[in-house]
Amino acid sequence: MKLLSILAHLILATILGAAQTSAAADAEQASTNPASKYNVLFIISDDLTATAVSSYENGVCQTPNIDRLAARGTRYTRTFCQFPVCGPSRASFMSGYYPHATGTFGYVSGRKNIGDRATWSQHFINNGYHAARVSKIFHMGVPGGIEKGDNGADDALSWVERFNSQGPEWKAPGDSELLENNPDGSKPVKGGNTLEMVKADGDHMVHSDGKTAKKACELLRTYKQQEKPFFLAVGFVRPHVPFVAPREFYEPYEWENIELPEKVPGDWDDIPKAGINYKTSLNLNLNTEQEKKGVAAYYASVAFMDAQVGKVLDTLHEEGLEKNTIVIFTSDHGFHLCEHDFWMKVGLMDESSRVPLIIAVPGKKPAVCDSFTELVDLYPTVAELCGLEVPARLQGKSLVATLDDTTVTVRDAAFCVNSNSFMLRTDQWSFIQHGTQGQLGMQLFDMKKDPKQYTNLALDPKYADVVASFQKRLAAKLTEINTNDLADVKKKQKTPK
C-alpha cells in the first residue's frame, strides 16, 4: 500500500504539472473574455469527504480528474458545509441562507421557506441564463429515489430543464455484501441507508452516475450552439451508500491492504452522548474485516465518480468551452470512514462537516486558499464572477477576492449546524455545542495540537475562558443568521389558515 501511495503521488505530480501549464495558457487566452459571458458548470458529489480526494490529503484513494481541475483552479482547503446531511445542506447553498434562517432541516428544497426569493440557479435564469440540472442537486433519496428516477425534493422554479438518472443501485448485477449488522448480529434490511458494497458487472452506463455524465456531455455539446450562457448543475450520487461501482474500480483497493484510522483507547470517554455519531462500529457490530471493506468500497465509489467527472471535463475541453466557463466542484458534506469508530455523516467533527471545494475561473491562475469558507458562499461568489447583481439578502460571503490573492481572509471561523448542535471552527479551535445553551454537552479541540480531535478540553477548567468566549460568539452568530428578510415568510407560515 505504501508503494502504491508513492507511485500515486508521482503520477499526481505529473498530472498537476501538465494541468498547470495548460491552465497558464488558457488564462492568457481567456483574459479578454467579459465576465458577463461566463457559463457556469457546477459539479457536486454526494457524501464526499475532503480526506478521500488525492489532491487534498489522501495518498491511497486516487481522483485524477478532480485533481486536474484543482491544478487549474483554486483549491480551498478549509471549506465547511452548513449542515452535514444532504437535504438541508443542498437547500442552504441553493437558497443562499443558513438552515436556521429558513428552518429547513429536512429533505426538502426549502422553497416554502424562502417564498419568491430566487435560488442560486433561478437568479441566473432571471438574468438571461439557461439553467439545467442533471440528477441530484436538491435532495433526492439514495438509493430509493435513484431507483425510481424521480425528481425527489427538487425545486422546479430553479431550472429551465431537468433530467433524472435512474439506476439499479444495490440491485445492480454483481457481487454484493451488506457490511453492517444489527446490534444483535443479525443483518438489517438491504437497500436503505446502509453500508453495502456492490462490485457491479457491466459498464458505467448501468449506473446513475454513468448516465448523468453522458447527459451532461450531451447538453454541453448542445449548449455550445446556443446564444444564451448556461448554468449547468451536474449531481453525482456516489460515493453515497450503497457503494456501487463497476468491478474494475474495486481492483486497486483490496480490503486487506486498507489501513484504518488510529483507534485510541477510551476515545469516547470525553465525548457527550449527543456527539456520538448515529452510525458507529459498535452499533453496527462491525469487525475489522468489515471496517476495512467499508473503506475500500468507499474508495472504489469515489474512483468511479471521479471517472464520470473526467468525462464531463473532457467534453468541456473538447467543445472549446473551458475558456469561458467557470467550473465548481464540491460535495454536500463529508463522511466518516471509521475515525473514532464513526461512519457516515451527521456529526460536526471535521471528517463529516468539511468538504472539498475547487473553483476554476478562466483567466485566473492556479492556487491554494486556506481561508475558512462555506458552501453558502457559492451563490454570491459565482453571481459576482458572472457580473450579476449579488442580492444583499444572501448570507454567504463572496470568495472572488481569494481568486487573485489567496492570503485574503474571507472569514475567521466556519459555522456548521446539525439541528440542535452547533460548530464554530477557527484556526486554533473546533468548538461544538450540543443544545442552545450547551445543556447536552460541549466539545473543544485544540486543532494545532490535536488535529484528529481526540481530546475534548471543554470540561477542563484551564479552558473555561475559551469555552465562554465561543458560547458568546455562537449566540451572536445565531442572532445574526436569524435577522434577515425572511421574517414575512415565517409570519405567513405561523398564520392560521
Q: How far apart are the first and last CA of the chain?
A: 63
The C-alpha R_g of the chain, in whole angstroms, comes to 22
Which grid coordinates belong to 103? 428552518
The CATH number of domain 2-408, selected from 3.40.50.300, 1.10.10.60, 3.40.720.10, 3.40.47.10: 3.40.720.10
Measured between alpha carbons, how far is 41 from 151 in angstroms, rounded to an integer?
20
Strand bridging mode 174-178 / 161-163: unpaired
* pLDDT number for residue 339: 98
Tens place of pLDDT per residue across the chain (497 aa): 544 444 444 444 444 454 444 444 444 433 333 445 899 999 999 999 999 999 998 889 999 999 999 999 999 999 999 999 999 999 999 999 999 999 899 899 989 899 999 999 999 999 999 999 999 999 999 999 999 999 999 999 999 999 999 999 999 999 999 999 998 888 888 888 999 999 999 999 999 999 999 999 999 999 998 989 999 999 999 999 999 999 999 999 999 999 999 999 999 999 999 999 999 999 999 999 999 999 999 999 999 999 999 999 999 999 999 999 999 999 999 999 999 999 999 999 999 999 999 999 999 999 999 999 999 999 999 999 999 999 999 999 999 999 999 999 999 999 999 989 999 999 999 999 999 999 999 999 999 999 999 999 999 999 999 999 999 999 999 999 887 677 656 555 553 33
Identify the residue whose cell numbers are 442533471: 134
Which grid coordinates belong to 475? 449566540
Number of residues written out for the chain: 497
Which grid coordinates belong to 83? 449542515
Do residues 431 and 417 make contact, with C-beta atoms less than 8 angstroms apart? no
Measured between alpha carbons, how far is 334 from 84 in angstroms, rounded to an integer?
7
Which grid coordinates belong to 144? 430509493
Distances 80 to 16, 34, 231, 338 between C-alpha atoms, Å? 25, 31, 23, 20
DSSP label of 492: H
Strands (E), 332-435: 336-337, 342-344, 354-360, 367-374, 414-418, 421-425, 429-434
* pLDDT number for residue 185: 81
Could you give the residue ranges of the DSSP H alpha helices within 96-171?
99-102, 111-114, 120-125, 144-148
Nearest residue to 138 (alpha-carbon basis) of 89, 186, 173, 171: 89
Identify the residue whose cell numbers are 474495486: 250
Do residues 394 and 102 make contact, with C-beta atoms less than 8 angstroms apart? no
* pLDDT number for residue 395: 96
* pLDDT number for residue 110: 87
Measured between alpha carbons, how far is 363 from 440 in angstroms, rounded to an integer?
49
The domain ranges of the chain are 2-408
Do residues 162 and 133 make contact, with C-beta atoms less than 8 angstroms apart? yes
What order of strands is seen across the sheet that includes strand 442-446? 414-418, 421-425, 429-434, 442-446
Q: What is the 3-state secondary structure (H, E, C) of 241-292?
A: CCEEEEHHHCCCCCHHHCCCCCCCCCHHHHCCHHHCCCEECCCCCCCHHHHH
* pLDDT number for residue 17: 52
DSSP label of 137: S
Do residues 356 and 48 make contact, with C-beta atoms less than 8 angstroms apart? yes
Identify the residue whose cell numbers are 447538453: 219
Which conformational region is residue 453 in: left (phi greater than 0), alpha (psi within -120 to 50 degrees), or beta? left
Q: Which residues of 7-23 are buried (b: 16+ CB within 10 A; e: fewer)?
A: ebeeebeebbeebeebb
Nearest residue to 193 (alpha-carbon basis) of 150, 241, 147: 241
Nearest residue to 468 (alpha-carbon basis) of 429, 411, 494, 410: 429
Do residues 207 and 168 make contact, with C-beta atoms less than 8 angstroms apart? yes
User: Residue 441 carries which side chain, given as an amino acid letter?
Assistant: G
Do residues 379 and 398 make contact, with C-beta atoms less than 8 angstroms apart? no
Q: Which residues contact 43 (CB under 8 A, 6 or more apart)?
A: 234, 236, 309, 312, 327, 328, 329, 330
User: Which of helix, strand or coil describes residue 187?
Assistant: coil
The pTM score is 0.92
